[in-house]
Amino acid sequence: MSTASYPDVLLFIDGVWREGSRHGGSPASQPIVDPATEEVIGTLAHASIADLDDALAAAEKGFATWKRVPAHERYKIMRKAADILRERAEDISRIMTMEQGKPLAEARVETLAAADIIDWFAEEGRRQYGRVIAPRAENIHQVVVREPVGVVAAFTPWNFPINQAVRKASAALAAGCSIILKGPEDTPASCAALFKAYQDAGVPAGVVNLVFGVPSEISQYLIPHPIVKKITFTGSTVVGKQLAALAGAHMKRVTMELGGHAPAVVFEDADLDHAVKLLSGAKFRNAGQVCVSPTRFLVHENLYDKFVDGFTEAVKGMKVGNGLEDGVRMGPLVNSRRIDAMEALTADAVQKGATLRTGGSRIGNKGYFFEPTVLTDLPPDARILNEEPFGPLVPIQPFTSTEAVIAEANRLPYGLAAYAYTTSSATAEDFSRRVESGMISINHHGLALPEVPFGGIKDSGYGSEGGTEAMEAYVNTKFVTRFAV
């Protein structure tokens, strides 16, 4: 087992790890806190505008270098980065659990999955084909080629510190782009470990750059900057809309991976035990801080009582604690803001008449632990039914007809993920056709593999972070027509 200690985290600009340059008297920084103990475990360097200028210059130079590296060479370097990540997985996972809170087993899965994502994009980078279009006249030659968009500015959150970053950085690298990534200030060290793997694998200086600081200052500076050609953001819908508006004002290409409020529908003919088992597992992964987490449980009235009893029992047996300890199923929330949000959503529901089946409170007063919570008998205006909870809260509602449940699934402006449990192919087909969502998963939770599209519609954003679609975001299409003289 790894005994790695938590490192201080620096900026990575032009191939060098460094402190932020001076803001007034001293380099700016912030403490990094372990959410399980509330102890300060490290210090994070903050970028000033001067540092961002350095990162921009480095990324511009990095792009000029990297776009000329043959795809086959890029592939070899990326595959090496994946192997380095695998070799270091035990240390990185421990560091991730210390800063983010998730159980060590989940951190390990995330780190190893990141290596798979790099491998997949490395392969995909070798398969960027153009095409030849039949001309309308003799002596004309028409081709379509794909070129990297250029310098990418990426913004990633704290819930999957490596995974959110590796999708963006690897697709950009595979396409031949350079990138400046503003990583998650709450959980910076595991994200930094990813960049160290790219560096040690031989990605040239300036091609990948990692900065931290005040998120709004960094996005306001990078998005309009003429060197930046592409914006990609993962985070809340509120912030996503602000950044997309800014990008639009400067005609920048954008990918937005935003919030969701996924319906999880258990139809009358579902395998009940299977649904309880899988939904209780999926719901509390990363303490519910997952954009595709099932969050609006809708259960057919004939199964409702049995489902609520079975689900509540499964939840009550769940061990909550420090993610480094053996047997812990759910760790703390990432910061005190998430505790405040869980308390406010629970109090609102209960005050409006909901029944608290289990949970509902913070656990202890040290560490950001919150009980896995099940709520029933909710009125339609309960905030939890309308706002993304991003935490371990489960509202369960009964439904009577397929029409009603499809209408409920589509009622909110979100459209990221939707789940259904049914043994009927016809119901599964109907659900997947009529539910407005970027991703649909039936009788299991099969999302987020490297090779499958990952993204939302409506207020959940646009663009994809997986599959061949993810590469599209980092290439321009160029049409060339030549008349032979």
Catalytic residues: 257, 291
Report, in this order, helix, strand and coil percent for the chain, each rounded to 5: 40, 25, 35
Segment interacting with ligand NAD, rule: CB under 6 A, options 24-32, 230-238, 419-427, 476-484? 230-238
Shortest reach from residue 388's CB to ligand NAD, in Å: 5
3-state SS, 172-184, equals HHHHCCEEEEECC
Nearest in space to 225 (alpha carbons), one of 398, 54, 72: 54
Q: Does 437 bind ligand NAD (CB under 6 A)?
A: no
What are phi and psi for residue 410, nearest 5 degrees? -90, 0
Distances (CA, A) of 158 to 190, 337, 411: 10, 13, 28
* Complete DSSP assignment for 218-273: HHHHHTT-TTEEEEEEES-HHHHHHHHHHHHHTT-EEEEE----EEEEE-TTS-HH
Q: Which is nearer to ligand NAD, 216 or 424 (by Cβ)? A: 216
Reported residue count of the chain is: 485
Which of 142, 236, 358, 443 binds ligand NAD (CB under 6 A)? It is: 236
Which of 161, 235, 288, 294 binds ligand NAD (CB under 6 A)? It is: 235
Q: Which residue has its beta carbon closest to ligand NAD?
A: 235
Q: Does 355 bind ligand NAD (CB under 6 A)?
A: no
254-283 binders of ligand NAD (CB under 6 A): 257-259
Q: How far apart are CA 428 and CA 405, in angstroms?
A: 13
Distances (CA, A) of 213 to 20, 48, 276, 353, 421: 9, 8, 42, 42, 43
For residue 300, list its beta bridge partners: 399
Q: Which is nearer to ligand NAD, 125 or 183 (by Cβ)? A: 183
Q: Does 333 bind ligand NAD (CB under 6 A)?
A: no
Segment interacting with ligand NAD, rule: CB under 6 A, options 123-131, 154-162, 364-372, 436-444? 154-162
CB 167 within 8 A of CB 11: no
* Complete DSSP assignment for 77-146: HHHHHHHHHHHTHHHHHHHHHHHH---HHHHHHHHHHHHHHHHHHHHHHTT---EEE--SSTTEEEEEEE
Q: Which is nearer to ligand NAD, 32 or 78 (by Cβ)? A: 32
Shortest reach from residue 167's CB to ligand NAD, in Å: 11
Segment interacting with ligand NAD, rule: CB under 6 A, options 236-244, 280-288, 362-370, 405-413? 236-244
Q: Which is nearer to ligand NAD, 235 or 331 (by Cβ)? A: 235
Q: Does 337 bind ligand NAD (CB under 6 A)?
A: yes
Q: Does 141 bind ligand NAD (CB under 6 A)?
A: no
Q: Does 366 bind ligand NAD (CB under 6 A)?
A: no
Binding mask 388-417 for ligand NAD (x = CB under 6 A): x-x---------------------------
**CA angle in degrees (0–180, nearest 5) for 446-452-454:** 85
Binding mask 180-219 for ligand NAD (x = CB under 6 A): ----x------------------------------xx--x
Q: Does 370 bind ligand NAD (CB under 6 A)?
A: no
Nearest in space to 190 (alpha carbons), one of 49, 26, 4, 342: 4
Shortest reach from residue 360's CB to ligand NAD, in Å: 19
Q: Which is nearer to ligand NAD, 373 or 427 (by Cβ)? A: 373
Which of 12, 158, 195, 198 binds ligand NAD (CB under 6 A)? It is: 158
Q: How far is CA 191 from the centre of its chain?
A: 12
Distances (CA, A) of 439 to 103, 284, 300, 347, 416: 26, 19, 22, 31, 6
Phi-psi region of 148 (alpha: psi -120 to 50; beta: other; left: phi over 0): beta
Q: Which is nearer to ligand NAD, 259 or 372 (by Cβ)? A: 259
Which of 20, 103, 157, 359 binds ligand NAD (CB under 6 A)? It is: 157
SS3 label, residue 204: coil
Q: Which is nearer to ligand NAD, 75 or 195 (by Cβ)? A: 195
Q: How far is CA 316 from the centre of its chain?
A: 28
Shortest reach from residue 156's CB to ligand NAD, in Å: 7
3-state SS, 349-394, equals HHHCCCEEEECCCEECCCCCEECCEEEECCCCCCHHHCCCCCCCEE
Q: Does 239 bind ligand NAD (CB under 6 A)?
A: yes
Q: Does 155 bind ligand NAD (CB under 6 A)?
A: yes
Segment interacting with ligand NAD, rule: CB under 6 A, options 76-84, 144-152, 235-243, 398-406? 235-243
Which of 128, 190, 199, 234 binds ligand NAD (CB under 6 A)? It is: 234
Strand-strand pairing, 151-155 and 253-257 = unpaired
Segment interacting with ligand NAD, rule: CB under 6 A, options 40-48, 231-239, 308-316, 477-485? 231-239
Count of residues interacting with ligand NAD (CB under 6 A): 20
Q: Does 100 bind ligand NAD (CB under 6 A)?
A: no
Would you tell me which residues interact with ligand NAD (CB under 6 A)?
155, 157-159, 184, 215-216, 219, 234-236, 239, 243, 257-259, 291, 337, 388, 390
